[in-house]
Structures are given as structure tokens and as C-alpha cells.
Structure 1
Amino acid sequence: MPVGIITGASKGLGRALAEALAGLGWDLVLDARGAGALREAAAAVALHGTRVVALPGDVTDAGHRAALVAAARELGGVDLLVSNASALGAEPLVRLAELPLTGLRRALEVNVTAALGLVQEALPLLRASAAGTVIAVGSDAAAEAYETWGGYGASKAALEQLAAVLAVEEPGLRVWAVDPGDMATDLHAAAVPEEEELGAAPADVVPGFLRLLAERPASGRYAAPALVAGR
């Protein structure tokens, strides 16, 4: 069975992707900060009959990242690493003039530094896999200038650039930065609580990710909604 690590897997896109992959026979290591929500997610994923290891913790902690990779090694290796855990930097989002620098540092630490740290930890196992794949969950805010999304967007732009460089440096891997589009998630609700229409359900976006895994196109940046639409 292929083995994947998914961060931020207790809810939203991470949980939806975990359930879909388990339905396709993947064994999974799941991460999130909230232990209770992660247990619930892992129980739902395990109903598909695959092996699921749930490790609550903070991806900014090096020891936690090492534990995630060690758990995957016990399952057989790392074929897929999905960096989905994210921090906004401020809740709700604010203009750059009011953005707390501590919040910006947190967004960069979670969205960029921890993601790279986990890749570094898993890289030997990814290289050993016949289908080693890294998915960095990006954002349209990484490429477009939206008011109040500056700090979060900057962190996602940095993550997507790391993914692009990793693809050049590790040609034996597939490295995809994937923009999931607007989604109705707790993260989006925290970012812009006044918005009534938050976007697609995470489960409706997941087929785009599954298409990438099935077709294995070249490393690069992809938009999940376009993939779902067959483009």
C-alpha cells in the first residue's frame, strides 16, 4: 500500500483528502494540533480499512515532524507528503498596516519553515519511493493582490517558490503547488468572518488532487478547480 503524510488533517481539505486517499487504499499518517478533532477524523478515515496513524502536534516542532516521518517509515515509507497545515497570521485578516509582526512570523513558520523542515525530514524516504510526491497546498493569494491577504499570501508565495525550486533540485520527485481555490473551511471563516459565500466544499476540490496523483503530470503549479473541470 502507498503511504502518505497529511498535515492539517483534522478538518477541511486535509480531512477530505485523507478520506479520499484511504478509499483508494492509502495508508496514512495524519497531523493536526487539535487532538480531539484529529481522533475523530482518523476514526472516519480508518473506516475505509487502511492503516491510519494520528499524531497530534505542531508542525513547527522538529520533534513532531520527526515523529510523523518515523510513523510513516513504520508503515512502509513515504510516497506522498501533503503540506496542508496553515496559519493566517491574524484572525480575522487585517491590512498590512495593522498586521502584527508576530502573526506574520507565525504564518511564515507554519506555512513555509515547517513545511520545508518536514520535506527535509522525509526526503530520504521520498527519494526511495518509486512515486515520491510532494504537494504544497498554495493559494490564489500567493499570486494575486487581495486586500488584507498580504501576510498569508506572502507566506503561500514563499511556499510555492520553495516547491518550484525543490522540483528543480529533486527531478526524481513530483512536486506540485496546488491552489485549491476558495473553500468553505474554518480557516476561511476565521480569515473573513463577514463573508457569507466562502466557496466550494473541500470534498468538491479533492478530485483535482486525485487527478494529479493518477495522471502524474510534470512538477509545477496547478489549480484544483481547473483540474476538477477537466482543464
Structure 2
Amino acid sequence: MTFETAIVTGAGQGFGLALTTALSSRGTTVVACARDGGRLRAATAGLPGVVAVPGDVTDPAFREALVATARRHGGLDLLVHNAGELGPSPLPVLEHYPLDALRGVFETTVLAPLALTQLALPMLRASATGTVVSLSSDAAVEAYPGWGGYGAAKAALDQLTAVLAVEEPSLRVHAFDPGDMRTAMHQRAFPGEDISDRPEPATVVPALLRLLDERPPSGRHRAADLAAGSTR
């Protein structure tokens, strides 16, 4: 399935960039955002249909500008909440977790996606293929030492996504767990360790594309399951 227009947050590197590249190759106009404007523009230069919009999704004015950009390009069919915040590195146990840092994790991972969704809903409802995807994590459902802050934020995002699916039955609303990947964020979680055994983000994108193409009922999906079997 081809989406005419999409917003992908955190698109300057990693999974967000890999997904932006794949959607671009399918003919989608992708409004791609990331905090590092130089890296975003360099990474997306030459990708057809990609509109690079540097900025921070925690900034209300930037969220307005992001949605306005999509509107100028004809509306919005797909909203992908990929931007997230790991928190301190090395990962602290909850006993010593800095609360200000935890607020930052929730601001980027939970509050900003909800605020952006609120702005985007009128266009998504008007689309015949309106879809919202929130990037989840196994840390949202499993208890790993050191992952309390990030995991709690992803669990909260999962719940918001599940409730949105019930409240917006005309849309497809999915939480997508890509599994471990070889990304800069994952490397920060394991400073000094070799994570070269993790898959490259581009190898995980086909699982999400399958989810988008098959349009199963709204829900939570793991890339590993999508790669192995049916979405239904």
C-alpha cells in the first residue's frame, strides 16, 4: 500500500531514516523530522519526496509547523512516532534515577507523541488509510535492570496507543516493537560494548511495511512475529 503523505519523527538516523528511505522509494511524500538539522538534511538529501523539517518534537511550535507542512502537501495518511529518549547512559537503576532526566524521557517518548497526534487527528480521520504507528520496545513489557525509565515511558506510550485505537475505530493504530537493532541509541545503552550482532534497522523495516500493507486490526505487533507469520 502506498501512503501519499507521512510524518516520521526521529528520521535523521537509525530506524526512522531507514523507514523514511523505504517510504520514499514507494512514492510517499515523507515529512521527516529530527533535532539535528544538519544530519537530517545530509541523510535525506536525494531521497525523492522527502521534506526535511529539523526541530524538536517536544516544542509545541515545532509540532504545529510539522503538521502544517503535511497539510501543505495534501494532508496526512501515516504518522510514525519514532523519536524517543533513552535517558542517562550508563542506564541507572531506579534507586538512583535522576527525576529530571526521567521527565525528559517522558516528555519526548509520551507527551510529545500524544500532542502531535492531537494536532494530526483531523487529517488522519479524513484519510482513507489513516494510520498511527508508535515505536515500542520489549522494555515496555519485560523488566530489565536499568531500563526502568525508558521501559516505563514505552509502556505508557503503548497504553496511549491502545486507548487511541479504541477511541478512533476508523484509523489503524499500532504499537510496533522492532526488537534490538544496531542503532546509536542502543549503543548508548551499552557503552563500550560490541553490539554488531544486532540487526541493522533497514532489515527490520520490511516487517513494518508488511504491517502497513496488510492493515490488520489495530494492536501491538512485534517485528519478529511479522517476519515469521501472519499479522491477523
Q: TM-score, normalised by structure 2?
A: 0.95
Identity, % of aligned positions: 57
Distance in 2, Cα, partners of 1:58 & 1:31: 8
Of 12, 19, 29, 2:21 maps to 19
Q: Distance in 1 between matches of 2:138 and 2:155?
A: 9
> Aligned-pair distance for 1:195?
3.1
Residue deviations 1:181-208, cap 9 Å, x none?
A: 0000000001111432362110010001
Question: 1:93 maps to what in 2?
Answer: 91
After superposition, what is the alpha-carbon deviation per residue over 1:31-81, rounded to whole angstroms, capped at 9, x for unaligned?
A: 10001110012214x2xx3x2211111100011011111001111111000
Q: Tell me, in whole angstroms, the C-alpha distance in 2 between the residues paired with 1:134 and 1:26.
A: 15
Counterpart residue identity of residue 39, structure 1: R
Q: Which runs of 5+ in 1 are unaligned?
A: none
User: Conserved in 1, the CA contact under 8 Å of 2:187 and 2:195?
Assistant: no
Q: State the Cα distance separating 1:111 from its structure 2 match.
A: 0.2
Give the equivalent residue in structure 1 for 2:213: 214
Residue 224 of structure 2 aligns to which amino acid in structure 1? P
In the alignment, the residues of structure 1 paired with residue 217 and residue 80 of structure 2 have an alpha-carbon distance, to the nearest angstrom, of 17
- Secondary structure at the aligned position of 1:55 is classed as strand
Q: Is the 8 A contact 1:89 1:105 kept in 2?
A: no
Q: Give 1:120 shift.
A: 0.3
Return the offset for 1:21: 0.6
**Are 2:137 and 1:139 equivalent residues in the alignment?**
yes
CA–CA distance in 2 between the matches of 1:92 and 1:65?
Answer: 30
What is the Cα deviation at residue 229 of structure 1? Answer: 2.7
Deviation at 1:228, TM superposition (A): 2.0
- Matched ranges for 1:1-231 at <5 A: 2-44=4-46, 46=47, 49=48, 51-197=49-195, 199-231=198-230
Count of equivalent residues: 227
- Which amino acid in the other structure matches residue 160 of structure 2? L
Q: TM-score, normalised by structure 1?
A: 0.96
Q: Which AA in structure 2 matches 1:207? A: P
Distance 2:149 2:59 in 1: 22
Shift of 1:98: 1.5
Shift in Å at residue 140 of structure 1?
A: 0.3
Partner secondary structure for residue 22 of structure 1: helix
Per mean C-alpha deviation after superposition, the further-off stretch among 124-133 and 194-203 is 194-203
User: Over aligned residue pairs, what C-alpha RMSD do you find?
Assistant: 1.1
In structure 2, distance between residues paired with 1:141 and 1:59: 22
Q: Secondary structure at the match of 1:177?
A: strand
Cα offset, 1:225, TM superposition: 2.2
